[in-house]
A and B are shown apart, each in its own frame.
Chain A
């Protein structure tokens, strides 16, 4: 244990004196979050993908509700699909992030459509959205549904009062009077709409955590090239001490990154006029998902360091793979605005798992148990990488 602590102590001292490396790890991501959050404040400039597939629970089960689904289908923006779940089940699925959207047509919709008055029982068509869905896409879905309902209502009124009998309110087509409402669902029910900083901070935090590969591989390969690794081997120092000595310091670096980035989002961005990052209600959950992400990042960094022959190889390879993981995982382009076919690939990137885990806490307001799958998967990737790194390292010694 003392030997491991000696190794950890050395690594911390080396890190402390590499202020340029620390700058890359702390200051640059913080600046990035600041700039992106302020620049994208209010809304994301994003495109609407071709169609939105939405599970629908039709509690009304009337010809009018079937007509609404047909209208949506014909419109082309929304592809309604009958959900196998009950309304409450669909709400839970959306709240957990298993479904991005949902539509519930409440009982009474058909009666309202065929009446002349307003709905007196609240929204009859509810659009459910998970917090990670961007405002732009929510608005697009809401507009599509409202337009379909309005069209059907107007047509019905024209049919029942050909020419002159149409009430002014219906003819005016004011969407605000339509019984259509959007609900953004989290663990505790409805949550407030996510803002730019809540989308950006977790994304760039996960991205920054994976960049520990730069200092790890630089020190590791220099140690190998300068003969320190051989010297340690000839001193009977086992690989576990050498590799283990690097895990704890860089885990602490990742944790410091997490704290700093979250504080930037919660305090600095609002001070500069941007949106405030809501930190959710589970610090333990944040620690869990942060730890899983860190283990994956450090394990991956050590594997790259063990395999690469030179620092240039390691930093170039790791830089490019991090960019690819970031792009695929929804860091640069939010997953919600990707087309459905591209979204399917996000699951391949561990950065996407980390992002989902952070969103479970920060956006969906869930507890620590919600991040267990993501944190577990990330930890598993980290352990596999560490195992492979130790095998490669042992072989090269």
Chain B
């Protein structure tokens, strides 16, 4: 569906490219997760896909069409759901949908049927006459999604579609997105919720400062990036005592005030050694975790920086 080759984009007067020689492939009918801190280049990439920007170098094609040269064609395929609630709060749910359907050229019975379809798809049947400003946060997100579905898109770009809503509403939206994918729609999904991306996406790319750190199928990514991780929480000493234990066991590092982490394929042997060294340092093991790395841990390990929005680098991105 989407092929991106050696794509580079730099904004005027920017210190570094917003996107620097990136290549990606997104199969049709899949959910593709796009991860990265603010300023990483996600919005620039979405803008290039929608034909809102032109690349400086490289190429982008969506279903074989160059978005920069044929923005009209691309936009007829595209449904876009921005992070902001891009509708009219003073209008009702139905009026909002009727407006967005009408300006896309739908009218009469076709318009009514399509509105009823998308209302049913996001389960807003009971709220058609309600003013959009009176909806709960979760219902507003559903309306935002429904507007993006009006044009029967074959490519759906979702920019943080679950931000700021309760877990129940989030779960509902994730289920709807899976259902949309199952209907053959290709979904580009950006989110700061790592667990959500891990559960939802078929493949993922992590972008950092305009470069792709990793791009792969989700399963391959999680299983292929080394192995299992043993985490041991110590009690009875401070950070200094933890560092002393870590220094005695190869490959071990301290994460947080009293947590040690080691990558190992033999967790029992590693645990025994850590137990011995802890006892020697006057500490004891208070808890353990063992298993595959999560997406967040993978991001931390690949980017070398914490997943904190506030710590995100200053951005030239628009």
Contacts and interface: CB of A to CB of B under 8 A. Distances in A.
Interface of A: 2-3, 5-7, 9-10, 13-14, 17-18, 225-228, 230-237, 241
A237 B76 CA distance: 11
6 contacts: A3-B103, A9-B99, A226-B84, A226-B86, A231-B82, A235-B75
A235 B86 contact: no
Interface residues of B, number: 27
A3 B82 contact: no
B80 A234 contact: yes
B75 A234 contact: yes
Contacts of A227: 82-86
Given A6-B102, A10-B102, 11 more contacts: A3-B104, A6-B99, A10-B99, A13-B90, A14-B90, A227-B85, A231-B80, A231-B82, A231-B100, A235-B75, A241-B103
Contacts of B105: 2-3
B237 interface: no
A235 B104 CA distance: 6
B50 A237 contact: no
B72 A10 contact: no
B88 A228 contact: yes
B75 A10 contact: no
A283 to B, nearest CB: 35
Contacts of B83: 227
A228 B72 contact: no
A328 B245 CA distance: 82
Contacts of B103: 3, 6-7, 232, 235, 237, 241
Which secondary structure characterizes the binding site on chain A? helix
B104 A228 contact: no
B86 A231 contact: yes
Nearest to B107: A2
Most buried by B among A14, A228, A233: A228
Contacts of A225: 84
Contacts of A3: 102-105
Contacts of B147: 231
B104 A236 contact: yes
Nearest to B88: A14
Given A226-B86, A228-B87, A230-B82, A235 B102 contact: no
Contacts of A5: 102
A387 B52 CA distance: 22
